[in-house]
Structure 1
């Protein structure tokens, strides 16, 4: 199968002791001009740090001027990346071989594994002519760089690129601009057949030139042109959800969905993700068949300031409001390959309690039950429940409607039981479906010119004692009271048909003051049973002391 040219690739960078180097812009000998007028070369010099373990090809730098350039060629089952220039001068063949960089060392660039090696270039010249190319002729230098194999897309050297004269025409030629052989030898793999202490070189004097150099020799005109063999194709990942710049509020789902692909049949592919710099977690894994994408889906929930996968806290900390958070998703295979990372930004809004209109208020001293209008909304649109209370006792509780006007007041039976001259709190509580509550409070002190009470039939003992099968005929009421000067009993009323919708009240004020019983005049009821109720009202009048009603007694038959 004929080789196929796939174009130029920018990949990786040359690192010296961890510091990325600029890609040479004058990739020829670094001691003098190869020909007048082109200037001295600027290839990094190995002798500045003569330790090949400190010179590495690593991840692709952000600065374009530091990225290495490669010609990508599909050669049968292999994919080759041939560097377009020498990237390190003054390095010997032995220096390279000591790090297995002649016949191949596995390296990783951007998560992708490659076999880093030298080109083959022939073990001798061809037919005794150094300008005729390498022998055997099926070497990679002559196949690809000299383009003795017809490969569409690769430049063909002209006669001036191949002649015995090195000049500026060679330097500026299309072929040299693609391969940068001008004025710089490239080490190749082979041992010179004429002397095992020497290794083959290519280029420098012409595009096809073959020569040799001592295996341990370091020269300013000889250098390292690496070749990368793609060992394992890194997987790729496509993220269809979430969209970028989402905003999450309480209870929202954050869906991570997409697919991963790996062209290497049989590779185990695992899709992973993390939030910010949190723990890396797996979403899904599968075995690639080389063509069918592996789908993945994960649904996270934002709850109580955190992202959760079921009961698992993904980040382990509250996600701050008002700042960008980052989801990162990528795929890895079991051969060391890693896809590019795909990121999505998002923000969060912590769940907030419902908002009750108005403000807390002190109503002062009042004599009538207060009535306050309000409305409730929920910032996140969550359902909410409204509960109205007096001194912590529920008046009513109901499902709220956003923005609807509501009125809180105190029913008469609760109002008359409130202590006088004592602070009280009328509250409205709104609780959303996530459990957050806000409260509006109205404080007041109840003041009365009268004491008024009836029997409390919510009390089972009272209800049982005063509910009768037979008709009550008489009743005696005694009041345990203190009435300072200026106060008076305004009335005492009784009925024997308290269960009726409209009881028949009878006045027995005079009887109470005289300490006598009262004979009921009513003999009718509409309810099932008879029941006695007592209604007492005491007027404070002009009294300056406190009026007290400590209790009552009596009898009936």
Structure 2
């Protein structure tokens, strides 16, 4: 979300990301609001640092005044620096003579020949079109020296200009306007050069460094001299020097409308960004899981934004943990992000805002603060894998452990996704996953999966997965205890409900002396297949009592398809 420029305090820093000098955005400082004599309601800006080392005006070889011929002209309206500041012409094209004896700031016309700037582009050439168009024309009061220019004042109208002695809260006998609110002491007037200013300067001095204040020009002439120009000395006091000298700094001013928008918050360097146009709407929502676990990932998503200017560029997602600083996690057009929660955090929150191509941002959509669950899930001994081929009922041993004491551990065992049992386990104790004979019979040939899931009462969960293969090729079914008979069984009838694929061998045998150590089995398969009565030929027994039993056998052979016995029934006498 954006706010108006006038809402920022005196001393606040702003920038337009498209307004550059030496390839970097110019950082401006608010020095006054609605300054007397300036456009109504204007916000006055000065470059926060010295941006360049340049002469005020070049030597004027053909000037009839000898000192201006040798040392340059201190009359601001004719100065090279004023013309350069207000030109948007390209390299080597900004200069035109301002009077009959004027000269450009070539190496031959400046101090020791260094820092000539006639071949530069005009200062406004590096401004964004919107910034250039937003600069307010400002009527300036400019003093004249008494020696050659008759004293008094003249007016000029500029968009970019140098400050006056009076505006900086200093005095030299020439009054050009009133003091800016930002300047009330020598310290407040100090200005440091930018890194680009230092590196591009051909004039080298050990004290010209980014960490030390530097001198910078004012527009005010020395009152009784035609070539001296006032400046702010590196200590913040008033100074004066030759107009043609190339090692004094430039610190330009401009005025903007108070209604221009800036970003709602400053960046990491405490600088606000000018916003051209309307900011995007606030993202409609932000979704953060209610359960957040330390050491795991969570997915954050948020709603879309709209932009009246149709230049929505994307979203900025930030995170805060343990009520600390907000840090950026993501910037881009997507509306989802997966974050890793560090084990040990106590709380976490997220916020998201939209931004557009002009740097305008919406207000934040902020999530509720989530408590981080730093519970350690239970562990299950062993590792996932295959148990190989199984031929009958079996068991798998495992141990469940939870490093967090005092928690309730629930274990669920499943075969092929179907729950077998659920129980409360004791940490460190060994348990057995038993595949019983009854369960084994029900399993079809092929691959099967066993899962053991251990969960604690705080939501920590671990699953161990095993696979095994069943490949049964024969079925044999008989009664563990023969059916009691009052006497010798001589005839019976049976039915067997079954699914036997073609190619498999199906056999049914019966006996009437089932209680004997070695019963006499008689094959009755054909009678069962024909659903007819059959007669038993055995007449002897060794056991104390007669007993009827049957034995059903199936061999799959090379047959394929389902093969099973559902039930067997019948009567005997």
Compute the TM-score of the two structures, normalised by the length of structure 2: 0.39
Structure with the higher fraction of residues in strand conformation: 1
Higher relative contact order (CA 8 A, sep 6+): 2
